[in-house]
């Protein structure tokens, strides 16, 4: 269950528990994981982002600084989540980074066509994966200036 803390820096939408653990560990190692919420599928992510269902008490104006989004997930896939985010005026400007194991050109092209900010293929080894996540966190949370 998610706490009622909705001041979110990182919204991690990922169904693989091993990848979730690695992302959280890498961000916390660099003091970037304090305001992180993990959601296991696209359907719950959409409820959170659009403040509906069990997240209706959340204000939609409380936007995450970045969404780390997997592509291949149950219920609603990452491309559907990205499309919904970009189609809504209230959420259109939230930075979204696809973080997936898919290096397929069709996934990359479709993601950029829908307005993704970055597309990262998950490295297979732990050290490279951890480094990639830390660099993403540093850039999107500390270096980048997002609107809002």
The CATH number that applies at residue 81 is 3.40.50.2300
- Residue 3: CB partners within 8 Å, gap ≥ 6? none
Q: Is residue 1 part of a domain?
A: no
Tell me the helix, strand and coil percentages in the chain, rounded to 5.
40, 15, 45
User: Average pLDDT over the chain, rounded to whole?
Assistant: 90
Question: pLDDT tens across 32-51, in order?
Answer: 888 899 999 999 999 999 99
Angle made by CA atoms 131, 19, 111, in degrees to the nearest 5: 85
Q: Is residue 147 part of a domain?
A: no
- Residue 44: CB partners within 8 Å, gap ≥ 6? 75
DSSP 16-50: -HHHHHHHHHHHHHTT--TTEEEESSHHHHHHHHT
Say if pTM beats, i.e. exceeds, 0.95.
no
Q: Is residue 3 part of a domain?
A: no
Number of domains in the chain: 1
Q: Is residue 17 part of a domain?
A: yes
Residue 81: which pLDDT band, with cuts at 50, 70 and 90?
very high
Whole-number Cα distances in Å, 53 to 46, 57, 74, 106, 117: 10, 9, 18, 32, 27
Residue 148: which pLDDT band, with cuts at 50, 70 and 90?
low
Query: Residue 126: what pLDDT?
Result: 78
């Amino acid at each position: 269950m998610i706490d009622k803390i909705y001041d979110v820096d990182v919204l991690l939408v990922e169904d693989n528990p091993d990848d979730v653990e690695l992302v959280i560990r890498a961000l916390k190692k660099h003091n970037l994981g304090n305001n992180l919420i993990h959601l296991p599928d696209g359907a719950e992510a959409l409820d959170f982002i659009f403040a509906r269902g069990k997240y209706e008490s959340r204000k939609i104006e409380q936007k995450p600084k970045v969404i780390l989004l997997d592509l291949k997930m149950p219920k609603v896939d990452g491309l559907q989540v990205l499309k919904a985010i970009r189609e809504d005026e209230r959420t259109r400007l939230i930075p979204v980074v696809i973080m997936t194991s898919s290096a397929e050109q069709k996934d990359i092209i479709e993601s950029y066509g829908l307005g993704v900010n970055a597309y990262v293929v998950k490295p297979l080894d732990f050290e490279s994966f951890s480094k990639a996540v830390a660099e993403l966190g540093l850039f999107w949370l500390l270096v980048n200036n997002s609107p809002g």
